[in-house]
Amino acid sequence: MPDRIARLKHDFRELFNSAPSAIVRSPGRVDLLGVHTDYNEGFVLPAAINVDVLAGGRLRNDDTIAVYSANFESKVEFPLDAIEFDNVNTWSNYVRGVIRFLQEAGVKLRGADIVLHGNVPIGSGLSSSAAIEMAVGFLMQTLVGFEMSGADLALIGQRAENKFVGVNTGIMDQFISRLGKKDHVLFLDCRTLSYEHLPLDTSALKIVVCDTMKRRGLVDSEYGLRRSQCEEAARLFGQWIPNVTALRDVSVADFEFHKKKLPDVTRKRAEHVIHENERVLESREALKAGDYQEFARLLDACHESARDLYEVSCAELDTMVEVCRAAPGATCARLTGAGFGGCTVSLVRDEFVGAFLDATREGYAKRTGLVPSLYVCTAEDGASVVASDL
């Protein structure tokens, strides 16, 4: 990180002829359990990981936001009182949306110069967008000094993505990026936003993310379709069971009793979500007990369900899962993110990480002709200040 901070400072001085007064970081995330349960008001279990977006900034004496992205090598400016969607520099809409909804929440902002440096792989399912949103939001909070809870800032980020960018995501990505904790995963109830940090010793058990190099081309259309299928399932269950407003309200026993009444595709989608919520709850107890073997079993079961019932896997993801499970030191493997490409996640015993990486890289390339990008991750803190009063 020191090299990245130095590069950010250099870019800031080149662009704005001054030094940033604060630099913050906000991490990407990997979801360990809770595939597509967040928008069903269910339970999720993500971890913040050691890839992140750095944001450096300094307040201005006017009402202009000037922001530069090193990843996209572009700079934009916009006024605080007229924030419009940018059809050219689309990366900036994550920034614009956060600034807009902070103001709509009653926060009095000032103009600022901002530089962004990220190393979260874009398009891989590790939520570079939420990392940008939380980096910008937390930077503005640090610069201006307004009071806002981590949960409320996460909601600002989600609103920016839903209402400004136009991607109808749940709350998980922003929440973990803001509120992650080192060597812990986050159990989050996506309805109540109650949460709990659960121990996962990533010095002994590394989180290895394997990018299949298959970009997630179907996510936008298929995501919306899955969401509508789940809403239809909840509507049907609501006819048979009192007080059902989302699939989160349907127990495994209720599902088994009523499942034959459901259309086939609707049944499969509901079965995945309902059982996935149960797996998250079971994993909560396994992690509290330090039972990593049971935790790994639940992650493996998640992949089979996401593949067969929710149908969000693809040939590349399934191949990577098979290769990872056969590699030295692996305890489990499953797709992560929304699916249809992107990454898998494995828990790998620390002493075998090198052998795991070699076997996975070779095995996947042999079967697909693609050279994967592999990331050895640890569970890290959420958004935090890395330098101030520079």
Which residues form the catalytic set? Answer: 173
Four-residue CA torsion sign, 197, 200, 206, 211 = negative
Q: CA 91: distance to chain centroid?
A: 17
Tokens of 32: 């360990």
Per-position DSSP letters for 114-164, written without gaps between them: EEEEE-SPTTTTS-HHHHHHHHHHHHHHHHH-----HHHHHHHHHHIIIII
The CA distance from 22 to 55, in Å, is 8
Residues with Cβ within 8 Å of 25's Cβ and at least 6 positions away in sequence, in order, are 1, 52, 53, 54, 55, 135, 383, 384, 386
β-strand partners of 389:
none
Q: Is 268 helix (H, G, I), strand (E, B) or coil?
A: helix
Looking at residue 189, the DSSP 8-state letter turns out to be E
Buried b (16+ CB within 10 A) or exposed e, 170-207: bbbbbbbbbbbbebbbbbbebbeeebebbebebeebbb
CB of 39 within 8 A of CB of 7? no
The Cα–Cα gap between 187 and 359 comes to 32
Q: Kindly report the number of other CB atoms within 10 A of residue 122's CB atom.
A: 12
Report residue 384 CA to chain centroid gap. Answer: 17
Separation of alpha carbons 106 and 305, rounded Å = 43
